[in-house]
Chains A and B, each alone.
Chain A
Amino acid sequence: MPASRRRSGRVSPALWIPAGLALGLLALPLVALAVRAPWSRLGELLARQEVVQALGLSLGTAALATLVSLILGIPLAVVLARSGDWPAVPRRLLRAVVTVPLVLPPVVGGVALLLLLGRRGLLGEHLPFSIPFTTAAVVIAQAFVAMPFLVLAVEGALKASDPRFEQAAATLGASRFTVFRRITVPLVAPGIAAGALLCFTRSLGEFGATITFAGSFPGVTQTLPVATYLELQRDPDAAIALSLILMLVSVVVLVSLRDRWTPGLRG
């Protein structure tokens, strides 16, 4: 087809220079990271107790944040996907609330969480226990930042799936919750998997909200990104090693997401 030939064919030379610069901006830092990595010391650096601790804490909290996002986020995605015939004001408000953490600077998220759940926060002052600067605070900060990725991915998948399967299930006598559990969720399983993976990666990389709301106590709230930042001042080689781990995880996620990128995140 002529149209597709034109699309994949010639590009004006005037575009090559900015395109090349853009590519360099995206790729060269990662190249530098790989080139300057202290490969000979890598084993020793990664075996350090604080590194192992930070890695374990990061994987654990990110997994928990993903679990929380799945349990709360899938129902929210269903509500969002079915909000089409709501009045405009609550419908747009709902969507805005879900989307805000995507564009909000994470530090602001951390400050906001302190104001809500801090010892003198809106909710926090009524709680018998203190949340900030605990491992729970890490999970909450990560979920705040990462859940929207899951919600939007699942919502996109829900909108693309045929609602008549749910109607058919209802005529067979299935209650609404049975329909949700046995039809709605399995039909959007690929969207849920993609959303969970994105959510996990985003949680793993979370820095701003975490350090603001949870601080950086080794073994309790010092996750990989926080440890990386702190190590950079003490032992740059250790920071590079930590960065390599985070990069590796991102690449693995990117590869496994390849074809599963769901419409919800394309906008």
Chain B
Amino acid sequence: MTALTARLEVRRDAFALALDLAARDGEALALVGPNGAGKSTAVAALAGLMPLDGGHVRVGDRVLDDAASGVHLPSEQRRVGVLFQDYLLFPHLDALENVAFGLRSAGVGRREARERASGWLERFGVADLAHRRPTELSGGQAQRVALARTLAAEPEVLLLDEPLAALDVEVRDSVRAELGGLLAAFDGPTVLVTHALDDVEALAQRVIVLERGAATHEGTVAELLEAPRTPYARRLVASSGGGAP
């Protein structure tokens, strides 16, 4: 069964994105590419933060976008969760209230929302940080709270937008390993956007190389490592194991 299928067409001035992608339940698809390749545009389009000029987004048999018939579900109705690059934890709420936010928005009562949020923090090993404000969290802690917040809202699709880019290089490897474990808590399709091959290898099963708005390679991670097709992909593979390029 294919859970997420999308054709994303977005045109902006001198830039055009035209990308087909699909991910099954429990599968993580990586979108890897250089800056300006259209990765952020793809995330915004999937999350409903940017309308499509053409194409569609479907999750199971739910239509989130269909440019031809003018369907465009707003972000709040899509059930597409995003782990943002800089996490975007709400600065005026503590960790617990951040995680409870999605539940409260869905109409869950204050007490139950806090209890369930508490459960998520515990599951992610950060229960002791419940009453800290985002500014009092380290990068790795903020990422756990942010992922808990995203998953607590019970999304059907999970988007990870450069999930390790905001972290210091020293902690990146350990947080990446932890993140792989935490993602086991999610059984829907995941789309990971990154420019680092380390992230792809650690977190994804399949990969699309995105260059100048179009896919230049699609397959399993092993296939990419074995036979990179473009100069960019060859440089990327050559940088493997050496940290972020």
Contacts and interface: CB of A to CB of B under 8 A. Distances in A.
Interface of A: 162, 164-165, 167-176, 178, 182-183, 186-187, 189
Contacts of A178: 105
Contacts of B80: 171
B182 interface: no
Nearest to A167: B49
Interface string B45-83: 001110000000000000000000000001111111110
Nearest to B152: A172
A170 B90 CA distance: 12
A186 to B, nearest CB: 5
Nearest to A169: B101
Contacts of A167: 47, 49, 75, 88
A249 B105 CA distance: 41
Interface in B131-187: 149-150, 153
Interface of B: 47-49, 74-82, 84, 88, 90-92, 101-102, 104-106, 149-150, 153
Contacts of A165: 88, 90-91
B49 A173 contact: no
Most chain A CB within a 10 A radius of its CB, from B76, B81, B91, B104: B76
B153 A168 contact: no
Given A171-B82, A173-B106, 15 more contacts: A164-B88, A165-B88, A165-B91, A167-B88, A168-B90, A170-B48, A170-B49, A171-B81, A174-B101, A175-B76, A176-B76, A178-B105, A182-B101, A187-B91, A189-B92
B84 to A, nearest CB: 6
B97 to A, nearest CB: 9
12 contacts: A169-B105, A170-B48, A171-B78, A171-B82, A171-B150, A171-B153, A172-B101, A173-B76, A174-B101, A174-B105, A175-B76, A178-B105
Most chain A CB within a 10 A radius of its CB, from B74, B77, B104, B105: B105
Contacts of B82: 168, 171
Contacts of A169: 90, 101, 105
B84 A168 contact: yes
Contacts of B74: 170
